[in-house]
Amino acid sequence: MKAAMLTKSTFAGARLAIKAASRRSASMRIGARAEVGLFYSTSTGNTEAAADWISQKFEGDISDPTDIGEIDVDDLTEYSSLIVGAPTWNTGADEGRSGTAWDEVLDEIKDLDLSGKKVAVFGCGDSSSYGDYFCDAIEEVYSAMKSAGATMVGSVATDGYDFSESKSVIDGKFCGLPLDEDNESDMTEDRIAAWCAQISGEGLA
């Protein structure tokens, strides 16, 4: 009886030790990830499609595009750098302009430690119908990542965009890459290719 109990507890102990070791090795694997994390959110699919383009155009190790609503935001710290994208909805609101999962996680992201990581933001909007609020959500994601200590890259000149106002214009430039699938979808591929080359040149890897 005693021998049986000993054997049982020995097995249980061994199982726990194996589980702990596998957790340790999983976190070591993730912690050592030399890979750019690619995250987005979407309501009607445009930002997801843009993320797919980026995963194809970016030269370097990059994760599969993943909906930000599907991860624990702490996992963002496991990547070498981040490329993140948000659509803009909720016109006229002061904040929560993405209208997607980003709105739920931005406060949590501000409390992360992303120092030493480069982060670039892209977004989808409509520069014609919503030209006074064009791609506002880029700024919200940008500011949260910056608050977390990230080094922000990937700002884009406003030349070539036809819009009136955007809170994503900081110091005369967009603080990320705006894309307009509603009016300028023919420009998206080239804009993404140029931006991917730009952020690589800015050291995002």
Ligand X SMILES: Cc1cc2nc3c(=O)[nH]c(=O)nc-3n(C[C@H](O)[C@H](O)[C@H](O)COP(=O)(O)O)c2cc1C
Binding site for ligand X (CB under 6 A): 42-47, 87-89, 91, 124-126, 130, 133-136, 181-182
Are 65 and 90 contacting, i.e. CB atoms less than 8 angstroms apart?
Answer: no
- Nearer Cβ to ligand X (53/112): 53
- Considering the complex, what minimum distance in angstroms separates the CB of residue 129 from ligand X? 7
- Nearer Cβ to ligand X (46/143): 46
Give me the DSSP letters along 110-156.
HTS--TT-EEEEEEE--TTTTTTSTTHHHHHHHHHHHHTT-EEE--E
Pick the closest to residue 158 from 192, 127, 130 (CA basis): 127
- Nearer Cβ to ligand X (47/118): 47
Distant-in-sequence, close-in-space partners of 45: CB < 8 Å, separation ≥ 6: none
- Considering the complex, what minimum distance in angstroms separates the CB of residue 23 from ligand X? 35
- Nearer Cβ to ligand X (79/130): 130
- Considering the complex, what minimum distance in angstroms separates the CB of residue 34 from ligand X? 29
